[in-house]
Amino acid sequence: MNKLPYILRRAPVPADNPTAPELAWRATVSADAAISERFAAPLLSYFQRRIRDRTQAEDLVQDVLLRVIRARESGTIENPERYVFKVAANLLKDVRRQAGRHPILVSHSIEDDPLDARPDALVDERSPERVLIGQMTLALALKALEELSELTRNVFVLFRLEQMKQKDIATLLGISQGTVEKHVMKAAFHLTRRCSQP
């Protein structure tokens, strides 16, 4: 990605006799280009390792760069590397959350299958007893989650429900990967113990 991102492409300013706004614009474009050149390749690599779709990864890089440039315009960013990758992690989390809400389903008509070929899980009917057991189990799990500390609960939810990698969670929360593992194990043990009680 040696080209400037789309968000940085603007009409050229005449070189002869620049005015103060034109000079300010040139400085802004220069700073924006520096941000793009510095972070575009690492961001692309970051996204491609996680989503394996180059076009979507390039779009996400553009979104991150746009957000970083807008944030830089409103003030200084003390730690650019950390800020850029925190924005990237949050954007990736948003994309995954949205994909979870709107999954891409493969169309296959179940009516085309003979009745003998259908899995039992599709044929099993919902009984009132099964629904009640499911509701009770969910309520017990939610209550057990509420008993955990906020950090442990957040780490567990990010790891198990958001399916983030422990390394990414550690970076996001500013803790070590070992601490993330400890919190995941603590939460899993607590939930197992609480949900297995009669």
Separation CA 113–CA 17 (nearest Å): 75
Give the model's pLDDT for residue 184.
93
Cα–Cα distance, 53 to 73 (Å, whole number): 30
Residues in the chain: 198
Distance between CA 11 and CA 179 in Å, rounded? 50
Q: With cut-offs at 50, 70 and 90, classify the pLDDT of residue 127.
A: confident
Q: Which of 29-43, 56-70, 96-110, 118-132 has the highest mean pLDDT?
A: 56-70
Query: What pLDDT shows up at residue 20?
Result: 52
- Domain residue spans of the chain: 19-101, 138-198
User: How confident is residue 2, by pLDDT bands cut at 50, 70 and 90?
Assistant: very low
Residue 68 has pLDDT above 70, yes or no: yes
CATH class of 138-198: mainly alpha
The whole-angstrom separation of Cα 58 and Cα 63 is 9
Give me the mean pLDDT over the 50-68 stretch. 87
pLDDT at 43 over 70: yes
CATH T-level topology, domain 19-101: Rna Polymerase Sigma Factor; Chain: A (1.10.1740)
pTM of the model: 0.40
Mean pLDDT estimate for the chain: 76
Mean pLDDT of 46-68: 87
CA distances from 47 to 58, 61, 167 (A): 8, 8, 14
